[in-house]
Copies of this chain bind each other. A is one copy, B any other.
Amino acid sequence: MGDVADLDRFFSPRSVAVVGATPNQAKGGYNLVANLIECFSGPVYPVNPNYQEILGVRCHKKVSDIPDVPELAVVFVPAQAVPGVLEDCGIAGVRAVVVESGGFAEVGPEGEKLEEACLEIARRYGIRVWGPNCTGLVNTDPFIFTPFMRAPNVHKRLEPGTLGIIAQSGMLAAGFMIQYVVSGFFRVSKACAIGNKMDIDEVEVLEYLKDDPKTHSVVAYLESVDRGRDFLRVAGEMKGRKPLVVLKGGRHPEAAAAALSHTASLAGDDEVVEGALRQVGAIRVYDFHDLMNLGKAFSLRPDPFRLSTPNGDGVALITVTGGGGVVTTDLIKDQGLSISSLHERTLRRLQELFPEWMPPSNPVDIWPTIERRGLGAFAETLEAVLEDERVDGVILLPFASRALENFPFERIGEAVKRSGKAVVSWVFGDIRFFGEYEARMREQAIPVYTDLRSCVLALKAYLHFSREARDQGKG
């Protein structure tokens, strides 16, 4: 179905027409034009028969009136009007159309018929259609942003990154994009809200991202996988090369029913999905929170980590709170990872740092050592633990306060880089210092979480992907 050139027109068009453009600021058709004028470097052509001009840009009655042939058209008009627009796009020579309008297959038989009519027109003209019932796509390099929500100066706020996002839900994709853009949560290469996927589907997008040199990892929210075999082939080709995280909605019959009315998706048998995803090494999650948290992890470090142990699942904890160490240990064991028995050599090194009355063990409780030696003890302890051949990954549990000014960020970052091992961090305490802590740890490519479960899931995902890569290397 299609080739890379087809999707290039969506991600890197020379020019864009907005059909359904309007000067009414309460409408999506206004937001589309306002966003694109700001963030897109090529010409933007508003299309609406009722206006001469929108936001100072000449407005055309129809696409075929535009003197240029826009490489991409974004359509946000009532569903009934979409076939006419597609016909006009075809006449004008447009070959890539994002249909954002709802009211298609997700609303029942009439909408389905409308979708079939659109598809017939598209095929006749060789138009590739993205959507309908979606918010389209974002590319950070070169920049384009098609969601119909207003996002002022989004091109300045959304720094280019390496994470690809696929979401079969427009509001969600757009909502999360805004949420995480504003919070600087992670850096994205391309975000794709595919909606009802009348023509372009998750498989075609995933295949594109698989080969996209700017995308190093992919997180996907899907409500259905219609071409299961093709999906697994593409996912299999990513195995051990690019991390793939999947949240599949509609696991229970009641949720599958909701998916049907949302994006006309047939959710399929969940056990089959589970087994298939495991087979291709994809990581499965069950909440958006987890999907985004792993996106954060892989956007910081998409490459496999060095594993020391045969199982590649040995974890050490360095904590200021004994209770945090206890509960994290439980969560680590829940996830099937191991608590490393530290090597005699490591324990001797740690005993030199620790007060005499405190025998070191894993979890490594360093509060008394910090009281004695200051926060630098975090780096000294981490260096010792990372050099231990029984340790594959480390979780740091510091306390957030003004004292973090003296936290040894650089030295920790260097130790992590030198070791090539996976390190993640939890943080608790005074929330006013969370942002600064996270930002400075991000510079060291260490993801930070505020709940232990997310922290453990991120480390598990890092180790899982690293094992996949190691196994692929062996194979």
Contacts and interface: CB of A to CB of B under 8 A. Distances in A.
Given A102-B368, A323-B221, A428 B359 contact: no
Nearest to A151: B430
A367 interface: yes
A254 interface: yes
Given A107-B358, A367-B171, A430 B179 contact: yes
B182 A430 contact: yes
Contacts of A111: 357
A346 interface: no
Q: How many copies does the complex hold?
A: 2
A429 B175 contact: yes
B171 A321 contact: yes
A176 B451 CA distance: 12
Given A182-B431, A451-B289, A453-B287, A223 B326 contact: yes
B322 A263 contact: yes
A330 B250 contact: yes
A171 B358 CA distance: 17
Contacts of A287: 327, 331, 451-453
Contacts of A258: 322, 325-326, 329, 361, 363
A363 to B, nearest CB: 5
A262 B362 CA distance: 11
Nearest to A363: B258
B286 A171 contact: no
Contacts of A321: 169, 171-172, 175
A77 interface: no
A106 B182 CA distance: 44
A377 B333 CA distance: 46
Nearest to A450: B289
Contact of A167 (B289, B320, B323): B323
Contacts of A271: none
A422 interface: no
A323 B165 CA distance: 15
A183 interface: yes
Contacts of A225: none
A44 B130 CA distance: 70
Contacts of A171: 320-324, 367, 399
Contacts of A357: 103, 107-108, 110-111
Contacts of A3: none
Given A171-B367, A262-B323, A288-B428, 8 more contacts: A102-B368, A169-B321, A172-B428, A250-B330, A255-B327, A263-B323, A286-B453, A289-B451
- Those 5 A-B pairs whose CB atoms lie nearest each other, nearest first: A169-B323, A262-B322, A289-B451, A255-B329, A249-B326
15 contacts: A107-B357, A169-B322, A169-B324, A171-B323, A171-B324, A178-B401, A179-B431, A182-B430, A182-B431, A223-B323, A223-B326, A252-B329, A252-B333, A262-B365, A287-B452
